[in-house]
Chain A
Amino acid sequence: MSEPVRALMDSVTKTVEREAPALGFDDAFTLHHRAVYRTAYQIVRDSGLAEDVTQEVFLKLYNHRESVPGDELLRAWLLRVAINVARNTLRGRSRSNVREEEFVKGVVGDDGLSVPLDVDYERRTEIEEARKALDRIKEPMRSCLMLKQQGLSYREIATALALNEASVGSLVARGRKEFVRLYGKIGGRR
C-alpha cells in the first residue's frame, strides 16, 4: 500500500471511529443535558445562550472524556463546567452587548424573551420576581440552591462548587431563607 493511500485509510478510519462516540458520552448527554441546560439558563436567562453553553459543556466532555470523573460525579462535573461557561458567556456579553441588551430590555420588558406569552400576566410577574430574587442571592448560596433544585446531592454540590460537603446544608438553608425574604420583598408579600 502506498504512503498516500495508507494516510487516506488512516484518516478515514479515524473519522469513522470519532463519528461513533463512546456509549458513555451518549448516555451522559441523554441523562444530564436537561440539568445542564436548565442550570445554564438560570444564569444566562436566554434560551439561545443556554443552548450555546450546553453545547460547549458537552463538547468539553467529549474532548476530555478520558479524564472526566466517573458516573457518580459526572453530573457534578458537568454542572460545574456549565456554571463556569455560563458566567464567562455573561461576562463576554456584558462587555460587548450591554447597549444591545439594554435596548432589547427596553423594547420587550424585563422578562426578556424567555417567559412565553401564553403564560398569564400574573404568573409571568411571579416568575420574574422569583428570578430576580434568586439573582440577588449571594454566591455560593445561589449556586447551592440552583444545584439543589436540579436534584443534586450535597456531595455533588460540594464537588461542583468546590465546597466542603459539611457546609452545603447550611448554605442551602441560608440561601432558602434569603430567597424567601427577597421574593417577599420584591413582590410586596411581606
Chain B
Amino acid sequence: MKNCVDEGTLQGYLDGELSPALMEEVAAHVAACAMCAGAEREAENELAIFSTALAFDNSLNVPSERLRERLDAAIGGMNAVEATPKTSRFNGFFGSLAALFTLTPQRSAAFASLALVITFAVLFVAVRPRINAPDPVREGVEIATVAPAGEKQSVVAETLPPPAVVQTNDAVVSAPVRNSRGANFVKANVKTPARNPRANTTGGSKPSMPEQKLLSGEESYLEAIASLTKAIDAGGDVMLRPSVRSEYERSLAVVDQAILTTRRNALRNPKDVDAKEFLFSAYQTKVELLNTVADQTQTATLGR
C-alpha cells in the first residue's frame, strides 16, 4: 500500500472489520508510514476516551427481571385480546343472532333467572292497581300512569309461555316495550340507559376490553338505579302495602341475585358479549322494577 490509509479504513482496521488481505496490507503500511502510525495512535487514544467517557452508560444496570415480567404480562394481555375469534362484521352480526338460539348451560340459567325476574315484575304490575285507596282525585292520576303499564302487561302475558326455554323469546319480545312508557314521573328525571350496550359510545367500538371494576355502560345503569332507589326511599315504606312491599323486595332480591351472577360471569369472561348482554338485561329489569315502584310511591305521594 503506497498511499496512506483513509480514516474509514483505519477505523475498520482498528475494529477488525477489514478482509484478512486488507488487514495485512494496512498493518504493513502503518508499520512503515510515520503519519499513518500517528493517525492510528490518535485514533486509539480517541477510542479510549470515548469508551471511558461512556463506560457508565455502557455498563448501565438493566432491569432484566422486570423487563421480562412486563413483557410476559403484555404478551398475556395481547393473547387474551387475540383469543376472541376474528370474524367479519356480517359474520359477527349473524353469529350473534344465531347465538341467541344456542343454549349453553350458562345461558339457559341466565335466561331462566331473567324469566323469573320478569314473571315477578309482571305479577307485581298485576297487583298494582289495588295498592292505592279508591280516591277519585288520585284515581285519575293512577289511571294515566297505569294505562301503558297495562299494555305492557298484556303484551308480556301473551308472550309468556311456561317453559324456560321458550321464555328466552320473552326477553326479546318485551325488550322494545321497556322504554315505551312515556308518561312517567320518575323517568322524566332519570336517564334510562339504552338496553343495547353497543349503542353506547364508550362500550360500542371496543367489545373486547380488559378486566376492570366497572364494565362500560354499567355506570349509567348504576346511576339510574341509584336515583330510582333514592326516589323510592323518599316516598317511604308507608306508600306501599306490606304485601306489595314484600313482593317488591322479593323481586328486588331475585334481580339483585341475577345481577350478581351475570356480573360475575361478565367479569370472568370480559370477551363474552353474551355475558355482558345478560348483565345489562338484568340491570334493565331492575331499572324497570324500580321505575314501577317509584311510579307508585310518587302517585301515592301526590294523592296524599
Q: Which residues of A contact B (CB under 8 A)?
A: 2-4, 7, 10-11, 14-15, 18-19, 21, 29, 33-34, 37-38, 41-42, 47, 51, 54-55, 58-59, 62-63, 115, 119, 123, 126-127, 129-131, 133-134, 145, 148-150, 153-154, 166-174, 176-177, 179-180, 183
Contact = CB atoms under 8 A, between A and B. Distances in A.
B8 A183 contact: no
Contact of A19 (B9, B76, B84, B102): B76
A10 B87 CA distance: 15
A32 to B, nearest CB: 11
Contacts of B82: 14, 18
A59 B17 contact: no
Contacts of B50: 145, 149, 176, 179-180
B25 to A, nearest CB: 15
Interface residues of B, number: 41
The 5 closest A-B pairs by CB, nearest first: A170-B8, A130-B53, A169-B12, A169-B8, A173-B11
B245 to A, nearest CB: 41
B83 A154 contact: no
B57 A169 contact: no
Contact of B53 (A34, A59, A126): A126
B57 A127 contact: yes
Contacts, number: 125
Interface string B29-69: 00000000000000100110111011011101011101110
Nearest to B18: A169
B233 to A, nearest CB: 42
A145 B79 CA distance: 37
Name the prevailing secondary structure of the B interface residues: helix
A170 B6 contact: yes
Contact of B17 (A154, A174, A180): A154
A34 B8 contact: no
Residue of B47, B51, B57, B84 ringed by the most chain A CB atoms within 10 A = B57
